Amino acid sequence: MKPSHLVAALLSVQATCAVAQDAKVLEAIASLSPCALKCIVGAATDCPVTDPSCVCGNTQLESDVKKCLLSSCTIKESIITRNVTAMMCDDPLRDRSAENRAVVIVLAVLSACMVLLRIIQKLLGPSENRFGLDDIFLFTTMIVFQPSAIIVVASLIPSGMGRDVWTLSFGTISEFGKYFWVGELFYFIASALLKLSFLFFYQRIFPGRRVQLLIRITIIVDVLWGTASLVSAIFQCWPISYFWLFWDDERSGHCTNRVWVASANSIISIVLDVWMITIPLSQLYGLKMAWVKKTGVALMFCLGTLATVVSIIRLRFLLIIDEKNNPTWDFWDPIKWSNLEITVGIVCSCIPSMRFFLIRLLPSVFGSSHDRSHGANQYGESSRRSGLSGFKGSRKPGESNATNCTTIFTTHNDSEAKDDDEVELVHMRQSDKSGGGSVATSVETPSRYEA
């Protein structure tokens, strides 16, 4: 039967009901494909398809029509049918574009500000805490993360992210898939670089041979994981363009299960995060500091678990997604949590820098009791203290008229070192390497005074 004949037959059978209906409804029904009409008529056994009050809100009817469309019709026919039924039932147009844009912009600005504060702290802080590989990789992470945020705001949102897929044109759906693919690549790169930043920081402050070996192995694993993630993301569909065209079943190509690729990557990332948290915590017992200070340092390292928690939440959303159902709406949650994961990781790595500035802005609140009671320099200038121990003022008969003394010089920046937990950890590493923190010098100085 020709499409026009099928439509005419359908309308004539239900002519009585159609007279009372709005012309827009009849026009919408007439625009449906023969395959879609068969699915609707076959499912609506107790309802006239031209009666919105009977059809709309009928979850069983909607489920039956959806199953028929997916098994018998093309994706394009399914999208058009869903759009027509949404119009017939006056479904509200869902649009989270403004929310999505605000969230991504806030996260991008926050991460950039935190990295900028860390750079300033490195420039103004003590010389022991100048730029290292951890800072370079953190800065690189931020450089990679910013284009990812720009892609979301400037490309993904205009291409329909945060809206229902059936409200978009076919070309817009393909554009969304293309920009999603590019953004996914940036995410995998940023995630691997951020882990390297933490690992190189651990390498700088923990001197033990065993822990250094563990860190090196973890660095290699992270590089391999990041490379594998990037390659699998690039070539998860073949040809590559099929990634953003796969929704159209009229195209030829093949893809791995894209949701499972992202989920497997996320699971490995979470396991690696948990392993990386155990590395510094395992070294706290050997640090030469009070238990109160150890607890504070442990809490600082445990803040990294926040990024792991975000990763777990992201994984949960990935596992419940049906990528062929409503991708422009459903994929917003994983995209949001991906951006939040990178931002939380950057913020956690920059928390010591925040303390550096808070102590200078509000020393009475954030400064240590030692600094307040001893009048430590709040501006970070160096101070040199020297002390005399073992002063011998007596001499035996026959000895030369000399004064023997042992002078211990200890040079340190009290205000700077105590304001910067990272510097204190670096000091401890240097102390562990040298075997002590002071240099003792014994000198013999002739006395100009008679005993």
DSSP sequence for 136-162: HHHHHHHHHHHHHHHHIIIIITTTTTT
Pairing of strands 439-446, 383-392: unpaired
Q: Shortest CA distance to 349 belongs to which of 184, 128, 190?
A: 190
Count of CB atoms within 10 A of residue 167's CB? 19
For strands 439-446 and 402-412, give the pairing. Answer: antiparallel
H helix runs in 320-390, sequence order:
327-330, 332-349, 351-361, 363-366, 369-374
Rounded to 5, what percent of the chain is helix, strand, coil?
70, 10, 25
Conformation bin of residue 236: beta by default, left when phi > 0, alpha when psi is -120 to 50: alpha
pTM: 0.75
pLDDT at residue 133, as a whole number = 92
192-228 as b/e, with b when 16 or more CB fall inside 10 Å? bbbbbbbbbbbbbbbeeeebeebbeebbeebeebbee
Q: Answer for the pair 147, 190: CB distance below 8 angstroms, yes or no.
A: no
d(CA 224, CA 199): 14
Between the CA atoms of 78, 80, 84 and 87, what dihedral angle is there, to the nearest 10 degrees?
110
| pLDDT tens-place values along the chain, 451 residues long | 444 444 444 444 444 444 445 576 677 777 888 899 888 888 876 777 777 777 787 888 888 888 899 888 999 999 999 998 888 888 889 999 999 999 999 999 999 999 998 888 888 877 666 788 999 999 999 999 999 999 999 999 999 999 999 999 999 999 999 999 999 999 999 999 999 999 999 998 888 899 999 999 999 999 999 999 999 999 999 999 999 998 888 888 999 888 888 899 999 999 999 999 898 888 877 666 677 666 766 777 777 778 889 999 999 998 888 767 889 999 999 999 999 999 999 998 888 777 666 677 666 545 544 444 444 443 333 444 444 344 444 445 544 444 444 444 444 444 444 445 555 555 555 555 554 443 333 334 444 434 3
Q: What is the pLDDT of residues 208-240, one digit of tens each?
A: 899 999 999 999 999 999 999 999 999 999 999
Find out if CATH 1.20.1070 is the number for domain 97-361. yes
- Ordered by start, the domain boundaries in the chain are 3-88, 97-361, 384-446
Neighbours of 271 (CB within 10 A): 12
Nearest to 262 by CA among 332, 192, 334: 334
Residues 420, 356 contacting (CB under 8 angstroms): yes
DSSP 8-state secondary structure symbol assigned to residue 304:
T
Q: Name 102's Cβ contacts closer than 8 Å, sequence gap at least 6.
A: none
pLDDT of residue 45: 66
**What is the reported pLDDT for 104?**
95
